[in-house]
Amino acid sequence: MNHIVAVGIGGMIGALLRYGLGLILFHPGAGIPLDTLAANWTGCLLLGWLNAHLPASVLLRSGIGTGMIGSFTTFSTFSVETLTLTQKGDVVMAVIYLLLSFWGGILLVHTGSRLGTKRRNNRC
């Protein structure tokens, strides 16, 4: 139960931080979504640090890693997992995971967008 509370509190903090970052950095028409890029890069840095330097406390890692950083960004988790596969010598699996994540994400965003548009058009 303590882990659920830690993830919940961390998630709330991460979500608020992400929202605040968006308020500061979001600039329509900037080309690159700087707020998302900053969140992803910051999350990668923080999760990398967490995995390397934080004590192995499962409760602390759950609250900060899964909760706070997880709600701040999921790209950091993806990056750590890809690096871990590479460090274990499973480069082929790392590349497959990278390609599946990237192209699968693009495909699913496209699919979700089409489904949402179709539903909206059916309502009218």
Q: Give the total number of structural domains in the chain.
A: 1
Neighbours of 82 (CB within 10 A): 16
Encoding tokens for residue 101? 């994540």
Give the DSSP letter of residue 74: S
Domain containing 31 equals 2-73
Would you state the pLDDT for residue 97?
Answer: 93
User: Has residue 38 been placed in a domain?
Assistant: yes
Residues flagged as binding site for Na(+): 70, 73
**Mean pLDDT score of the chain, rounded to an integer?**
87
Query: Comparing C-alpha atoms, which of 83, 94, 11, 102 is closest to residue 45?
Result: 83
Would you state the pLDDT for residue 124?
Answer: 64
User: Has residue 9 been placed in a domain?
Assistant: yes
Residues flagged as binding site: 70, 73
0.75 exceeded by pTM: no
User: Has residue 83 been placed in a domain?
Assistant: no
Contact 28, 17 (CB under 8 A): no
Counting as low any pLDDT under 70, the low residues of the chain are 31-32, 124
User: Has residue 79 been placed in a domain?
Assistant: no
User: Has residue 82 been placed in a domain?
Assistant: no
Q: Rounded to the nearest 5 degrees, what angle is found at the Cα of 54, between the Cα atoms of 50 and 59?
A: 95
